Structure 1
Amino acid sequence: MKPKELTRAIVQAFIIIVLLIGLYQVVLSIQSVLSYILIAAVVSLVGRPIAQLLKRIKFGNTLSSVTTIAILMTTFFGIVSLLLPVIFEQAKNLSLLNVNAFEATATKLMNELSIYLLDYGVDLQSWVDRSLAEVDYSFLPDTINTVLNGLSGFTIGVFSVIFISFFFLRDSGLLERMVMVFVADKNIKRVEKSIFSIKNLLSRYFIGLLVQITVLFIVYTLVLLIFGIPNAVTIALVCALLNIIPFLGPIIGTVLIVFLTMTSNLDASFASVTLPKTIYVLIGFTIGQLIDNFLTQPYVFSTSVKSHPLEIFIIILVGGLLFGPLGMIIAVPLYTALKVIFKEFYAHNKIVKALTKNI
């Protein structure tokens, strides 16, 4: 390669890198807006069958879109409202708690456990004392402010998604036209083909996700009913829905079920009733997660988005590192869309061939 060509190539590579870095910064700056658009696109994709059904029974375009949004909103807020009885009941349980008796029982258990561990050279009490002394409670005001800001952002996000979803449903070709604005005329056919494939794959993915949630819901409900946990159906539904968030969802669900199981049995003996029941429920939840990880998820990913579970695992990790929990949620749909696009435009690339051979 001649010096001039080499220099030109280096300059071009440098410019591309700078542009990519700039694009990444822009995406980070407007990631909330992009997230609203992506979520609205998903909502419209989920609601489109309802809207089409309403149109068949002579609903107008606008009316069918409004009705679909209303149905989806009712479903969403209905699920949220299911939490209220659980919250009120746990608050009631805590209000009836004999604090002194509970403290005495907990202290006794801690002492017994400390004595037991001392025989193995583990000084539990000293470790607990050191840990408590090292806790910096100054984080509490910041945490409260973060929660309040999060609630404010959530409210704005909900209304933004509803507004955007309405127009996506009302004009089914709106999103496609928005994309086509940036597409050269010679590539329109290929992009249209890509969009069609993406819709099919993502539709199957969301159906598979619904199957995954349903399986977990059934397993969780059975476990909670077997061990007599109050509000079993509601708790199981919430924990199953939390599973939508990869990795973090099951952890949050586990913490939630441990808390609810223990607070539902505060009037019972901790050592003989509450603790064993909590352990049994955790075992049941673990079985549910094993079923999900080794049966349901591989089936969903292999049949819907045509991706290997390890491939999905890496993509979810990358999404989480770049954009946090939201990135983990949208990682699979976004990756699937990118695979379809790359297959359409770079079908002869060796890496693309390997990644998209099943699509």
Structure 2
Amino acid sequence: MNAKDISSGIVRAVLQLTGICILVWLLLQVKTLLIYMLIAGVVSLIGRPINRFLIKRLKLKNIIASSITIVFLMWILVSIFSLFVPLLLQQGENLSLLEVNELKGNIETLIQEIGIYFNLDNSFWQQQFSVDNLFKNVNFGLLPELLNQTLELLGGFTIGLFSVVFILFFFLKDSHLQERIILALVNDKVTDRVEKSLEKTKSLLSRYFLGLLLQISILLIIYSIVLAIFDVENAFIIAFLCALLNLIPYLGPIIGGVLMLLLTMSSFIGADFSSVILPKTGYVMIGFVIGQLVDNFFSQPFIFSNSVKSHPLEIFIVILASGTLLGPVGMIIAIPLYTTIKVIAQEFLAENKIVKSLTKNF
């Protein structure tokens, strides 16, 4: 190898590195658009079975089926938000009429009742919890600023929603559009294998997301029944929030349990602690535990075995590793991402011993 070959190799490497840096910079500049496309892609997987049913069974045209699917998904989204609007409006009205002294008195009464019930030393209890210190640092003048930030967030959400719906329409109308975008970026020699991987990934993830909807629905029904039996205010909304938090593996149920505990206690804040608050909260938490047992021993194994076809221990390790690297977001995307990697590995590394072991049920 002479000096000319070495210099040309260095130049080529520098140009390639520069091109990669420019590409990464461009992707960072349009990251919002990429997020919109990613969300639209995920939603299209959820809406795919509905769209296919309308086309194949009802013989509707593609454009009509796609429009109906989007309207149906939008109806679900609007229905979810409509649950929270009355609650938020009521809370806003309560804030405008907030009687701080009365609120302090209620909290102090609750703390005293807890201390009496558990035979705690009052002086120790007061040192641990000081209501005066709590409210001394609260600046209620920040409420207008919070409202402005909320309006800005709502405006950004509206733009994002329109963008996602627009992209989603074309993803549903042309089910192979996402594939063509990806195939345009890969070498022609591996086009067939990439195409097979994409089709299998779409099928598995579509079933997985539908399974998650079923999982949330089961928990929503259980939680709603439990909260309604014990006359907890806004039972359905609380149940929906706790069921939705369950999408965050391992951490979500803990947050949901704490949220249900606090909201249940706040629903009976004026009642006697030992005869009303404590028993009802205890019964509600028993119902919460029953819901978690149903989810852990029936719902989740069914979803994992019939959608992503992975062993529970395998899923546990992947979720923990992803959570360590990327936090709660990593825990949420761990299973879809891992499933995609497994499908690609099976197609391109089919002879590898580890890949064979991990994908034997595919």
Calculate the TM-score normalised by the size of structure 1: 0.77
**Contact 1:94-1:263 within 8 A present in 2 as well:** no
CA 1:65–1:217: 2 relative to 1, 3 Å: same
Q: CA deviation at 1:212?
A: 1.3
Q: Residue 313 of structure 2 aligns with which residue?
A: 310
Q: Residue 7 of structure 2 aligns with which residue?
A: none
Give the distance between the partners of 1:338 and 1:150, measured in 2 at CA.
34
Give the distance between the partners of 1:241 and 1:346, measured in 2 at CA.
36
Q: Residue 249 of structure 2 aligns with which residue?
A: 246
Give the distance between the partners of 1:21 and 1:284, measured in 2 at CA.
53
Q: Residue 332 of structure 1 aligns with which residue?
A: 335
CA 1:109–1:130: 2 relative to 1, 3 Å: closer
Question: Which amino acid is the alignment partner of residue 63 of structure 2?
Answer: T
**1:277 alignment partner, one of 263, 273, 280:** 280
Calculate the TM-score normalised by the size of structure 2: 0.77
**Contact 1:227-1:281 within 8 A present in 2 as well:** yes
**Contact 1:114-1:125 within 8 A present in 2 as well:** no
Secondary structure at the counterpart of residue 304 of structure 1: helix
Secondary structure at the counterpart of residue 310 of structure 2: coil
Give the superposed CA RMSD: 4.2
- Tell me the percent identity: 52
Q: Residue 5 of structure 2 aligns with which residue?
A: none
2:301 is the counterpart of 1:298:
yes
- Deviation per CA, 1:135-179: give whole Å up to 9, x if none: 9769x9699487666545433332222111111011111011011
**Contact 1:93-1:263 within 8 A present in 2 as well:** no
Question: Which amino acid is the alignment partner of residue 76 of structure 2?
Answer: T
Q: CA deviation at 1:247?
A: 4.0
Q: Residue 46 of structure 1 aligns with which residue?
A: 46
Question: Which amino acid is the alignment partner of residue 110 of structure 1?
Answer: I
1:1-359, aligned counterparts within 5 Å? Answer: 31-56=31-56, 57-88=58-89, 103-104=104-105, 106-111=107-112, 113=114, 116-118=119-121, 123-129=124-130, 132=133, 144=146, 150-320=153-323, 325-359=328-362
Secondary structure at the counterpart of residue 123 of structure 1: helix
**Contact 1:245-1:329 within 8 A present in 2 as well:** yes
- Deviation per CA, 1:288-323: give whole Å up to 9, x if none: 123212332123112211122333234334444555
Unpaired stretches in structure 2, ≥5 consecutive residues: 1-14
Question: Which amino acid is the alignment partner of residue 46 of structure 1?
Answer: I
Unpaired stretches in structure 1, ≥5 consecutive residues: 1-14
Give the distance between the partners of 1:216 and 1:54, measured in 2 at CA.
29
**Contact 1:90-1:260 within 8 A present in 2 as well:** no
Aligned residues: 346
Secondary structure at the counterpart of residue 44 of structure 2: helix
Secondary structure at the counterpart of residue 157 of structure 2: helix
Larger mean CA deviation between 238-247 and 162-171 belongs to: 238-247
CA 1:316–1:195: 2 relative to 1, 3 Å: same
Question: Which amino acid is the alignment partner of residue 51 of structure 1?
Answer: N
Secondary structure at the counterpart of residue 186 of structure 2: coil
